Structure 1
Amino acid sequence: MKLSFHGADQDVTGSCHLVECAGKRILIDCGLFQGGRELDEDNAEPFGFDPAGIDFLLLTHAHLDHCGRVPLLVKRGFRGEIITTPASRELARMVMLDSGNLQEEEAQGKQRHAARRGNREEVIEPLYTEQDALYSLDFFGRAAGYGQPMDLAPGVRATFIDAGHILGSACIFLELTENGRQRGVLFSGDLGNNGRPVVRDPAPPPRSDVVVMETTYGDRLHKPLEPSVEELYEAINDTFRRGGNVVIPTFALERAQELLYYLREGVDQVRLPRSMPVFLDSPMAISATAVFGRHPECYDEETAQLFREGRDPLSLPGLSFTRGTQDSIAINRVVGGAVIMAGSGMCTGGRVRHHLRHNLWRNASSIVFVGYAANGTLARKIVDGATHVHLYGDEVPVKARIYTINGFSAHADQAELLDWHRQTGGPERTFLVHGEQETMRNFAALLKDTRVEMPTPHQAFEL
């Protein structure tokens, strides 16, 4: 038995881990590296294994940094079976198609830039195309139900366990047998933050011999949810009093839906103006919101009850969905009094950059960050206090009021990670992934009664 690491190793994105057992090769996630231009090269590098030799790909969830290299995996020869939950399957389809389209657009932009520099002969290919993403869908096979063991091959059994992170998210427990030796290997995927609306809290993990776990927030505690909601309402009302707009860079999956839930609650409780226009300016977030309605198996009890009563917990009076480009552009004519939610959450691309271009320089407006911002991203630069940022060739002054409300995180914080790890029953070895190096070191110091490893890219271990 062997375990090797090929992404999110002493870093926060690109999750990709390989298990070899009983003659089978099982990949856990195949995510895109995100955060800066240099990561474009990382995404294009060889995987560190032969894609054609992979028998199964198990997806923990549909965020881009966990499924975004699946079309590339298929493009380079993968012909195995992709297994995930029904909700993740729907969301991954949407995420990968959108990513393929963005890859093509970025390649075309680079091609035009090269031509302007006089290098007309240079050919710049996208990492993969929308057609590549579409073809990769052919390899999605069985759907995994929470808590239902699934035999992949003799000696390899997989169980998906609710991770409470986003709709359809899962931890994956592998029961491995080879040459009479048995090992239980648990992959956390991304663990959710307890007490969130819409999706359930993470389910208790099984006792495990080996644990591979994320450490995104392994060095800090989240602000409690209730004060975070209060801060959001105050940020909106204060901005409206100043005559500005509220721009919220929004992750399309889970965060957008959670914010709609709280905006609807704010209106219902007369905490927010009933007449306020709310723009969800993200085609993917709009589609994801529709997917939520089709997967009640993922809801917590409160949200399930609202649906049973015929009430949509993600709808409010002033909500507008803007799919078309022209509708998105029209939002820029709104000078004040609106909430604008647009992707991407780290401001690395998407429509939010246009809204930042029109609002960052305005004292009256506010930018509200409610999610993680990786090093190197535009969001991180703004959060860290940049006075000017570059957008579309212009240097834009940062004069808007900046809010960072970390209580909305869909990731478990340090205390929740430690509690989850304790429930695994004192594993022999714990591999820390999906976190910044200093965060990992801080978290590792808190783990007791287990051998802690912080793997480097392509490092392999015997189990």
Structure 2
Amino acid sequence: MAVIQSFGAAEVVTGSCHLLQIEKGPNIMVDCGMFQGVVENRNFEPFGFDPREVDILLVTHAHLDHVGRIPKLVKEGFNGRIVTLRSTMDLAEVVLLDSAHLMEEEYRTRFRKAQRRGAEASVREPLYSVDDVKAVYDLTIEYVEYGQEVKLGKDITAIFRNAGHILDAATIELNFKEKGEAKRFVFSGDLGNHNDMVMHDPVFVKEADVLYIESTYGDRNHKGIKESEEEFKKVITNTLLNEGNVLIPSFAIERTQEIMCLLKQMYDRKELPECKIFIDSPMAIRATRLYDTYHEELSQCCNDFLKRDGSVFEFPYIHYTLKPDESKQINEIGSGCIIIAGSGMCTGGRILHHFKHRLWNEKNALLFVGYQAEGTLGRRIIDGERHIHIYHEEVVVRANIHTINGFSAHADQNDLIDWMEHFERLGKVFLIHGEFEKQKVFKKAIEERMDKKAHIVAPEEKVYV
């Protein structure tokens, strides 16, 4: 009998890590992501399994909460195959190198301060280094395409299908036999929001004996995309015409590209006041270039932009600021700026510098366009915190705060249930990748709307299937 254990993204959103052990077969892991927010200290805890005993790692997509612990996995002994799409590993390299650089930089800063106190031993080593990231790419990596059946072992195959979440995000279907009985397990990965400007809609799956489905927004429905776009345009236009600036904490992958597409559309339609748009995130800049490279996987809208302009995302108002000095120069501009910077949940990165210089001014706007996990600065601001500390300085929050969740890269409750209803045969349903209270709402909705039981997976719970 097969057993699945979730060593992350169980009763929380982040840290996706699921181990499938098939009797007389390979041990297959789906994702190995980083914990974020209030549970981030779990990253430094033991995995709960021996990485040396994992034979195959399947990667759904390149967000940090799905790939962020892969270097640690390798560092602690994993030497198996990695199977995923090529662009996923290209994006993961950008994400992981950025993560490693940030952790190493933070360690050096804390170590210097600890030296002055004579407390060097109290400073925790980084989770992994740049060299550890490079070691990941020394392993055997097998690249697949959507719809391609890949053999994982005797009578065991996997198929990756488009999840519509970010570039080459995948739902993974696993087919295998145990004692002559055919079984099909499906891991949804993160499912995308319908009507995304950049990505295609998620592909439906027909059959599953076992479904592990994400539940990030299982408790709610997003605003309609048209309503969200109009709200976005109104905030941008009103702030710029009022001689203010717009701060957008944005995830480097997918969200930044979607916002750039929308701003480009506004520019085309002469709806965008003259301004300077700063993409102030080296990771977002590199990710945007990869999106251009893999443009075949993007929406028709994106490919129309590419055919006309030679680039999916660029237009005259866009400015890329790779170097720190270029980022600092933005502070010299009094008004008329849209600043798109990481980190998306305001846990670090250049957005904090812009908060320090702009958040106290009531003419400015802070526009959240992505999920803010519990315990993050972004979530605290949304929840009403009006005095925050940035780099040992208190900053009052006087800027206008706006949250637009219609741009979420995650499916909402209606989308999730609609995706599930397209199964022609659906067995047991297990909920992962969501906050526990929201999962309870989603579980009830599944029972009421589909007349189907669903189980919320507990951390490291052994699920026999």
TM-score class, shorter: over 0.9
Q: 1:135-174, aligned counterparts within 5 Å?
A: 135-174=135-174
User: Residue 42 of structure 1 aligns to a residue in which SS?
Assistant: helix
Q: Following the alignment from structure 1 to structure 2, what is the Cα–Cα distance between the partners of residues 218 and 407?
A: 14
Question: Is 1:120 equivalent to 2:107 in the alignment?
Answer: no
Q: CA deviation at 1:256?
A: 0.5
Who is 2:85 aligned against?
A: 85
User: Which string of whole-angstrom CA distances, capped at 9 and with x for unpartnered residues, describes residues 222-254 of structure 1?
Assistant: 111112111111111211232221000010000
Q: CA deviation at 1:310?
A: 4.5
Distance 1:54 1:397, change over 3 A: same
Q: CA deviation at 1:449?
A: 4.6
User: Which string of whole-angstrom CA distances, capped at 9 and with x for unpartnered residues, describes residues 289-344 of structure 1?
Assistant: 10011113312223223323444231121111000010011111112110000001
Contact conserved, 2:356 with 2:395, CA < 8 A, in 1? yes
Contact conserved, 1:428 with 1:450, CA < 8 A, in 2? no
Question: Is 1:252 equivalent to 2:255 in the alignment?
Answer: no
User: Which string of whole-angstrom CA distances, capped at 9 and with x for unpartnered residues, describes residues 264-299 of structure 1?
Assistant: 1111101112x3100000000000010011113312
Q: TM-score, normalised by structure 1?
A: 0.97
Who is 1:460 aligned against?
A: 462
Q: Which runs of 5+ in 1 are unaligned?
A: none
Contact conserved, 1:163 with 1:171, CA < 8 A, in 2? yes
Contact conserved, 1:185 with 1:211, CA < 8 A, in 2? yes
Contact conserved, 2:33 with 2:64, CA < 8 A, in 1? yes
Contact conserved, 2:305 with 2:313, CA < 8 A, in 1? no
Once superposed, what is the RMSD of the aligned Cα atoms? 1.4
Distance 1:120 1:49, change over 3 A: closer
Q: Following the alignment from structure 1 to structure 2, what is the Cα–Cα distance between the partners of residues 227 and 390?
A: 34
User: Residue 349 of structure 1 aligns to a residue in which SS?
Assistant: coil
Q: 1:28 aligns with which of 21, 30, 33?
A: 30
Q: 1:306-325, aligned counterparts within 5 Å?
A: 306-325=305-324
Q: 1:6-25, aligned counterparts within 5 Å?
A: 6-21=7-22, 22-25=24-27
Q: 1:193-208, aligned counterparts within 5 Å?
A: 193-208=193-208
Question: Is 1:177 equivalent to 2:170 in the alignment?
Answer: no
Q: Following the alignment from structure 2 to structure 1, what is the Cα–Cα distance between the partners of residues 112 and 440?
A: 43
User: Residue 315 of structure 1 aligns to a residue in which SS?
Assistant: coil
Identity of matched residues, %: 43
Q: Following the alignment from structure 1 to structure 2, what is the Cα–Cα distance between the partners of residues 105 and 325?
A: 14
Contact conserved, 1:174 with 1:186, CA < 8 A, in 2? yes
Contact conserved, 1:428 with 1:451, CA < 8 A, in 2? no
Q: CA deviation at 1:426?
A: 4.8
Who is 1:432 aligned against?
A: 431
Task: Give runs of ≥4 in structure 1 deviating > 4 Å.
Answer: none
Q: CA deviation at 1:110?
A: 2.7
Q: Following the alignment from structure 2 to structure 1, what is the Cα–Cα distance between the partners of residues 121 and 89?
A: 40
Q: Following the alignment from structure 1 to structure 2, what is the Cα–Cα distance between the partners of residues 286 and 23?
A: 41
Q: Following the alignment from structure 1 to structure 2, what is the Cα–Cα distance between the partners of residues 29 and 124?
A: 25
Q: TM-score, normalised by structure 2?
A: 0.96
Contact conserved, 2:28 with 2:56, CA < 8 A, in 1? yes
Q: Which runs of 5+ in 2 are unaligned?
A: none
Who is 1:231 aligned against?
A: 231
User: Residue 218 of structure 1 aligns to a residue in which SS?
Assistant: coil
Q: CA deviation at 1:420?
A: 0.8
Q: CA deviation at 1:425?
A: 3.4
Q: 1:404-443, aligned counterparts within 5 Å?
A: 404-443=403-442
Question: Is 1:378 equivalent to 2:377 in the alignment?
Answer: yes
Q: Following the alignment from structure 2 to structure 1, what is the Cα–Cα distance between the partners of residues 152 and 115?
A: 50
Q: Following the alignment from structure 2 to structure 1, what is the Cα–Cα distance between the partners of residues 29 and 119?
A: 40
Distance 1:140 1:216, change over 3 A: farther
Who is 1:368 aligned against?
A: 367
Q: CA deviation at 1:108?
A: 2.0
Q: Following the alignment from structure 1 to structure 2, what is the Cα–Cα distance between the partners of residues 124 and 219?
A: 37
Distance 1:150 1:449, change over 3 A: farther
Contact conserved, 1:207 with 1:423, CA < 8 A, in 2? no
Q: CA deviation at 1:40?
A: 4.0
Contact conserved, 1:200 with 1:300, CA < 8 A, in 2? yes
Q: Following the alignment from structure 1 to structure 2, what is the Cα–Cα distance between the partners of residues 106 and 67?
A: 20
Q: CA deviation at 1:121?
A: 4.1
Contact conserved, 1:205 with 1:423, CA < 8 A, in 2? yes
Distance 1:217 1:141, change over 3 A: same
User: Which string of whole-angstrom CA distances, capped at 9 and with x for unpartnered residues, describes residues 101-130 of structure 1?
Assistant: 112122223323433444134453111001
Contact conserved, 1:27 with 1:57, CA < 8 A, in 2? yes
Aligned-partner residue type, residue 181 of structure 1 = E
Who is 1:391 aligned against?
A: 390
